[in-house]
Amino acid sequence: MRELKDLVDVAKRAAERAATQLRALTPAAPSDWTEKGRHDFVTDADRRAEALIAETLTAAVPGSSVVGEELSPSAAWAGDVVWIVDPLDGTTNFLHRYPQYAVSIGALVDGALRIGVIHDVARDLGYWGATGGGAWQGDRRLGVSRLSQPRHALVGTGFPFKDLPLLRRYLDQFAAVMGVASGIRRAGSAALDLADVAAGRLDAFWELTLAPWDVAAGVVLIREAGGIVTTLEGEEDVLRHGSVIAGNPAMHRWLLDLLRST
């Protein structure tokens, strides 16, 4: 556990450095945005943040490797410690000065997902978790909500904006959830949505197309906070490009059953 906490401290330091850098930057003009895909933008801010994070992580943990959204998405998942990094989750929000974006750092240790750190940049709030060590916002321990009735639930989601052919399926799911739950929220940063599930502010969350760096840190937080995270097929391995369903045990089961029947 001491070794995991040491790695958490390294990830927290890297996330805080990147968050400080991002807060000091003026978002680029649209003419300087690079469109990786439809509706999917990247700027120099993302790349600079990832470079700083990678430098901090590998200097502190020699021999570790970094899989990052912008600079090393195809890097080999090799080594005792593999960092899974999203340097700016919520880039579109950042570009529009909408204060919902984060730095997200997860880590595989000996092949298992064991560490998660998320830094809410605009609010300067840090979340962290480690296998067996709980999930925390600063020094406050987190726990998923205890709500058990879907009609009371507040559910987070994300649109399949990178994969528009999924939109019809997603809209059917949205209608089904909206017909039962008390509300749905889409703020544009999956990392912070997952942190909100871990903190009990959201009772459940789903999205159809997320990458490993979008979810790695948040998965650790939710599981350590007593929640469940799976794919739409009910599989626990969510570190791939695909669906994610998360929540407290009761809300996860309800949402999983509802979405699979829609």
Judged against a pLDDT cut of 60, whether residue 43 lies above it is answered with yes
| Angstrom distance (rounded) from CA 52 to CA 19 | 10
CATH architecture of the domain with range 150-260: 3-Layer(aba) Sandwich (3.40)
pLDDT of residue 42: 67
Higher pLDDT, 147 or 33: 147
Q: How far is CA 96 from CA 27, 64, 92, 194, in A?
A: 8, 34, 6, 22
Per-residue pLDDT, 238: 97
Query: Where are the domain boundaries for CATH 3.30.540.10 in the chain?
Result: 2-141
SS3 234: coil
**What confidence category does residue 31 fall into, taking pLDDT thresholds of 50, 70 and 90?**
low
Count of other CB atoms within 10 angstroms of residue 4: 17
Half-sphere exposure of 54 (CA within 13 A, CB side): 20
Q: For residue 249, what are its two tokens?
A: 């045990």
Please state the rounded mean pLDDT for residues 191-200. 98
Contact criterion met (CB below 8 Å) for 194 and 145: no
Q: What is the pLDDT of residues 125-158, one digit of tens each?
A: 999 999 999 999 999 999 999 999 999 999 999 9
Full 3-state SS string of 235-253: CCCCCCCEEEEEECHHHHH
- Name the segment(s) of the chain with CATH classification 3.40.190.80: 150-260
Q: Residue 180 phi/psi, 5° resolution? A: -115, -45
Residue 255 φ/ψ region, left for φ over 0, alpha for ψ in the -120 to 50 degree band, beta for the rest: alpha
**Whole-number pLDDT of residue 89:** 96
> Cα(237)–Cα(231) distance, rounded to whole angstroms?
7
pLDDT (mean) for 214-229:
98
pLDDT score at 85: 97
Find out whether 180 and 258 touch, Cβ atoms under 8 Å. yes
91-129 tens-digit pLDDT: 999 999 999 999 999 999 999 999 999 999 999 999 999
Q: What is the pLDDT of residue 34?
A: 72
2-141, CATH topology level: Fructose-1,6-Bisphosphatase; Chain A, domain 1 (3.30.540)
